[in-house]
Amino acid sequence: MSLKTIFVTGSSGLIGSEAVEHFDRQGHQVHGIDNNMRAVYFGDQGDTTWNLERLRRCTKNFTHHSLDIRDRVALETLFRSRPFDLIVHYAAQPSHDKARDIPILDFEVNAIGAVNLLEAMRLHCPKAIFVFLSTSKVYGDSPNELPLKELETRWDYAYPEDHNGINENCRIDRTLHSLFGASKASADLMAQEYGRYFGMKVGIFRGGCLTGPAHSGVELHGFLSYLVKVAISGGSYTVFGYKAKQVRDNIHSSDVVRAIEEFASNPRAGEVYNLGGGRENSISMLEAIAKVEEMTGKKMNWQYVDQNRIGDHICYISDLTKFKSHYPNWKITIGLDEIFRQIMADQRLRNVAPH
Ligand SMILES: NC(=O)c1ccc[n+]([C@@H]2O[C@H](COP(=O)([O-])OP(=O)(O)OC[C@H]3O[C@@H](n4cnc5c(N)ncnc54)[C@H](O)[C@@H]3O)[C@@H](O)[C@H]2O)c1
């Protein structure tokens, strides 16, 4: 990409901070919005101040704005002050369990916050590119309708035609989403509409498990980060339901940002993509626990509760076929072992402890 002014929401979070670093390294002017609301949702363990300080130290062209994406007036002032070429929207209330306690705040941040940004772009820089990070939870629990087979350590799809996982044709309505899934689905549909109805260059990415060392992992969000945190500190971890064989596909934050960069270099209007680690980066809870035990050389202290989380996926693997066919330069470059290694190394350095 030629040099641009890039706007990143959620810039102190996992994916936002990766994007800030990435685009700053390339010489773009990067503006980030983050008001550290992760600490409001999850308490001290979700505090992202350490990551903002890290960004301030390691970047050259990064300007931080401590703004709330619900604050339309502040957004309006910011968008009036300079034209943005690329807007990447990552700020969110990101936990489906947490949304139950704060339904209005969840909707205001996830749904209305997204519309505030889309509308600010339409009014002030309609030719810009907008990327929205949606979630696999927009499919609700419909992925659980696929026939499954039980293997020794994981669930897997029973039919060969489902081997690659869930594609974008999976239905998003008449299914149990959790309030978080519904607020993100609202934003996902509005983002599609700004693409299709207004012809704006808007891409929607439905994330599987996005992960990496910059996650301020907490029990309710950031499963690998939190699992490693517990394993290192000797705390205890609880697995909910599905015989601990539920499967997630994990993608490193840097592969997420590279996907967004590919989209930005050749954008489409209102296109939807699933984005996760795919089958090669999929792992079950039992397998993840075994892996951290192997890496730490210690047995993990974990317990099993038979009741699964409401609306939780049993086996979710993102089918990456559509994105790879539109953007053949992109592929997963960071495998699961390296993801675990990086998270562990970073957490040892930060000396983190769970609640
Ligand atoms: N991490 C995952 O597994 C995952 C999976 C699917 C989709 N996603 C989506 O990807 C995006 C990024 O996720 P993440 O893991 O980086 O989350 P994160 O919580 O690490 O980062 C989000 C950042 O947004 C900030 N924020 C929250 N509310 C805000 C508000 N009202 N105004 C300004 N800033 C606010 C938070 O302080 C936080 O730093 C989110 O939209 C999330 O829903 C994440």
- Express each pLDDT in 278-300 by its tens digit: 999 999 999 999 999 999 999 99
Top-ranked range on mean pLDDT: pick from 60-64, 221-225, 349-353: 60-64
C-alpha span between 275 and 260 (Å, rounded): 10
Atom of ligand 1 nearest to the CA of 46: 19
Average pLDDT over every residue of 47-56: 96
Nearest-CA residue for atom 15 of ligand 1: 14
Residue 94 CA to ligand 1 centre (angstroms) = 5
Give which of 335, 195, 199, 329 is closest to 262, Cα–Cα: 329
Q: Do 156 and 148 meet the contact criterion of CB atoms below 8 Å apart?
A: yes
Q: Which of 244, 211, 239, 209 is nearest to 225 (CA)?
A: 211
Is beta strand 148-150 parallel, antiparallel or unpaired with respect to 155-157? antiparallel
Mean pLDDT of 298-309: 95
Q: What pLDDT band is residue 193 in, cutting at 50, 70 and 90?
A: very high
Q: What is the mean pLDDT of residues 142-157?
A: 98
The count of C-alpha atoms lying within 13 angstroms of the C-alpha of 321, restricted to the half-sphere facing its C-beta, is 11
Q: How far apart are CA 355 and CA 266, in angstroms?
A: 43
Choosing from 8, 14, 260 the residue with most ligand 1 atoms within 8 A of its CB, the one to mutate for a pocket test is 14
Mean pLDDT across 311-327: 97
Identity of residue 19: A
The reported pLDDT for the residue numbered 28 is 97
What is the number of other CB atoms lying within 10 angstroms of the CB of residue 336? 21
Q: What is the pLDDT of residues 223-240, one digit of tens each?
A: 898 999 999 988 999 999
Distance 161 CA to ligand 1 centre (A): 33
Alpha-helical (H) ranges within the chain are: 14-25, 37-42, 49-58, 72-81, 96-99, 103-107, 113-124, 179-196, 223-233, 253-265, 285-296, 321-326, 336-350
Whole-number Å distance, alpha carbon 92 to ligand 1 midpoint, is 4
Measured in angstroms, how far is the CA atom of residue 135 from the centroid of ligand 1? 11
Q: Which of 37, 78, 115, 318 to mutate to test the pocket of ligand 1 (most atoms within 8 A of CB)?
A: 37
Residues with beta carbon inside 6 Å of ligand 1?
A: 10, 12-16, 33-38, 48, 68-70, 90-92, 94, 109, 113, 133, 135, 207, 209-210, 215, 222
Q: Which residue CA neighbors atom 12 of ligand 1 most closely?
A: 90
> How far is the centre of ligand 1, averaged over its atoms, from the C-alpha of 297 (Å)?
32
Secondary structure of residue 273 in the 3-state scheme: strand
**Residue 348: per-residue pLDDT:** 86
Q: Which atom of ligand 1 is closest in space to residue 209's alpha carbon?
A: 3
Ligand 1 pocket, mutate which of 112, 130, 137, 210 (most atoms under 8 A from CB): 210
- Per-residue model confidence as pLDDT tens digits over 25-35: 999 999 999 99
As a whole number, the mean pLDDT across the chain is: 95
**Which whole number is the average pLDDT over 187-212?**
97
Ligand 1 center from residue 214 Cα (angstroms): 12
What pLDDT shows up at residue 352? 58
Question: Which segments of 167-320 does DSSP mark as H helices, in order?
Answer: 179-196, 223-233, 253-265, 285-296
Query: What is the predicted pLDDT for the residue at 220?
Result: 77
pLDDT of residue 349: 82
pLDDT at 347: 85
Query: Residue 130 forms beta bridges with which residues?
Result: 87, 202
Q: How far is the CA of 329 from the centre of ligand 1 (A)?
A: 26
- Mean pLDDT, residues 109-134: 98
pLDDT digits 0-9 by tens, 68-101: 999 999 999 999 999 999 999 999 999 989 999 9
User: 152 C-alpha vs ligand 1 centroid, how far in Å?
Assistant: 34
Region 179-198: mean pLDDT is 98
Longest dimension (CA), the chain: 58
At 355 the pLDDT is 41
Residue 40 reports pLDDT greater than 50:
yes
Nearest to 10 by CA among 59, 56, 62, 66: 66
- The CA distance from 311 to 293, in Å, is 28
User: What number does the ligand 1 atom closest to the CA of 136 have?
Assistant: 6
The pLDDT assigned to 245 comes to: 98
Q: How far apart are CA 8 and CA 15, in angstroms?
A: 10
3-class DSSP assignment, residue 329: coil
The rounded Å distance from CA 150 to ligand 1 centre is 33
The pLDDT assigned to 351 comes to: 66
Q: Long-range contacts: 82-85, Cβ < 8 Å, 24+?
A: 82/5, 82/31, 83/5, 83/124, 83/125, 83/128, 84/5, 84/6, 84/7, 84/31, 84/121, 84/125, 84/128, 85/4, 85/5, 85/6, 85/125, 85/128, 85/129
Q: Tell whether the model's pLDDT for residue 184 goes beyond 60.
A: yes
Test site for ligand 1: of 9, 11, 15, 190, most ligand atoms within 8 A of the Cβ:
15
Q: Which residues are CB-neighbours of 25 under 8 A, at least 6 positions away? A: none
In degrees, to the nearest 5, what angle opens at C-alpha 162 toward C-alphas 249 and 170? Answer: 80
Q: What is the C-alpha separation between 91 and 95, in angstroms, rounded?
A: 12
